[in-house]
Amino acid sequence: MANPVDTLGHCRPTARLILSTPDPRSVARLRYAFSAYAALHGIRVVDDDSADVTVAHGDVDTAVQVRLPAGYRLRPDTEPAPPPVQVDGMPCFHLAPSGEPDVLGEVFEWLAAPHERASTELDDIGRIPPEHTLAGTHGLDRRVPWANRWLARLHRAVRTALPGLPGSPPSPFGASRTFVASHDMDHLSSRRLVNGHRVLKNVGVAVAGRRDLRTGAAILGAAARRTVHGRPTIVGVADLLAGEAARGVRATYTVVAESTHRRDPGYRLDDDFVRHTLADIAEAGHELAVHGSYRSLEVPGQLEHEYALLADAGFPATGGRQHWLRHRGGELFAALERAGAEWDSTYGHPDLVGYRHGAAFPFLPYDLDRERARPVVEIPMVVMERALCTAGSRPADWAATATEVLRAAGDDGWGGTAVLWHDYAFPGAALPAGLAETYWAVLDAGDHWVTAAEVAAATRTRWADAGALTGLPGRT
């Protein structure tokens, strides 16, 4: 039977993985890692000898075209990853007896992040702090997508047996680099008193918190100019819509459907200004998504309730991002599954640019309790605008920093990651004014921009072909 043809008209190659280990947990994890490879490269995974290429992990009796060293070792959930060994400039956590890296084991270590599960210390927001991630603990460069690098090494081995494969992962969008522009709406109010209080708070953060008198003065000046012209001093949605329309970019905007804590924005979906703002976003062709409230994972059923509230308001969402990026592990994806969400974009850091899980591509997170992939696509958030201020002191360098991080996968990926610019970055009454111009420069750098829902749909198709969704409830 001929291989299926993808949406670009290319014949999709097939691959088979044979494992030497009999341990069911190891089998599930290594197959997950192989699915990540197949999904990134648009390869179908099959279980019979009809495959175009057969890959063995460890010593097996079957004739195969590619043999991978086997060195993956299970460890207790409470045990973090040991210090890596450097091999060919790569940090290795799972070495085979031969001293060669276990490529599938390395991919699993990054994507599934069992190291974070061993962390018991949370920051003051209730998140696993950056220093307790795999990169943070071991001092690894977060701007290097290590998972991509390991998958590229695997691909080079597969191409020796199947040289007709493209050298780079083919993009499901037909573009060399595709990314998601996203905006968390953390403040939506037209009330002068509310906005004035927020402006003073922002000045206090700049002056007292960061000792940045220049930014504090600039915030006051921007707020005064917006007030004189009768425009909201904090909300920058209109600025965003105009700039994105001029560039033909469709973005994803996340909304806090219900405030449950003092750290939530406090706006309501039934407020006229909020309703009109959301309608303007939708009418402009952008995607509306859920910004899970501060306590949305602590109150049973709360996140599902927030998805229902946004749908009842006329804006059904297929995914979202947690407010404050607040989550502690698998409870986020369990709640998303219950809500019927198809994607999430919480994985990232607010004050650091780079790849939290080493992945410069969207992927299915791994359920360490049920030993299987989760049916929710994770779109890594790799640049939040405020992190650029700590990444470099020169505003003129911010756009280059953001673009370089986005493209860090090089020939080892097609993109599918996200940037986050809050709408309040655009009026100039909250963050350094240069961040708004940086966003436009990033959009003008020549890449392709789509919504999170579009990336999620393409990703799910790839992972389904890789066999990772088989047997999951309600999924194919």
Q: What's the token pair of residue 101?
A: 């890296």
CB 235 within 8 Å of CB 427: yes
Residue showing tokens 């409470």: 78
CB 461 within 8 Å of CB 362: no
Evaluate if residue 5 carries a pLDDT over 50.
no
Task: Please give the residue that has the higher pLDDT: either 392 or 180.
Answer: 180
Mean pLDDT to the nearest integer, 261-287: 96
Task: Please give the residue that has the higher pLDDT: either 294 or 220.
Answer: 294
Average confidence score pLDDT of the chain: 91
pLDDT of residue 9: 42
Evaluate if residue 225 carries a pLDDT over 90.
no
Q: What's the token pair of residue 244?
A: 């994105």
Evaluate if residue 217 carries a pLDDT over 80.
no
Q: Where are the domains of the chain?
A: 14-161, 178-465
pLDDT of residue 187: 87
E runs forming strands in 311-385: 319-322, 343-344, 366-367, 372-373, 377-378, 381-384
Interhelix angle 103-112/24-41, rounded to 10 degrees, is: 90
**pLDDT tens per residue, range 32-77:** 999 999 999 999 999 998 999 999 999 999 999 999 999 999 999 8
Q: Which amino acid is at 445?
A: A
**C-alpha dihedral sign at 439, 442, 446, 448:** negative
Evaluate if residue 3 carries a pLDDT over 60.
no
Looking at domain 178-465, its CATH architecture is Alpha-Beta Barrel (3.20)
Mean pLDDT to the nearest integer, 134-151: 98
**pLDDT tens per residue, range 152-200:** 999 999 999 999 999 999 999 997 799 999 999 998 876 666 666 676 6
Mean pLDDT to the nearest integer, 343-351: 97
Specify whether the backbone of 58 is left (phi greater than 0), alpha (psi in -120 to 50) or beta.
left
Evaluate if residue 16 carries a pLDDT over 50.
yes
Give the closest residue to 292 by CA, choosing from 262, 258, 267, 316.
258
Task: Please give the residue that has the higher pLDDT: either 267 or 427.
Answer: 267
Mean pLDDT to the nearest integer, 245-256: 98
Q: How far apart are CA 207 and CA 222, in angstroms?
A: 16
Mean pLDDT to the nearest integer, 402-427: 95
At residue 68, the 3 state secondary structure works out as strand
pLDDT of residue 475: 46
pLDDT of residue 7: 40
Mean pLDDT to the nearest integer, 268-279: 96
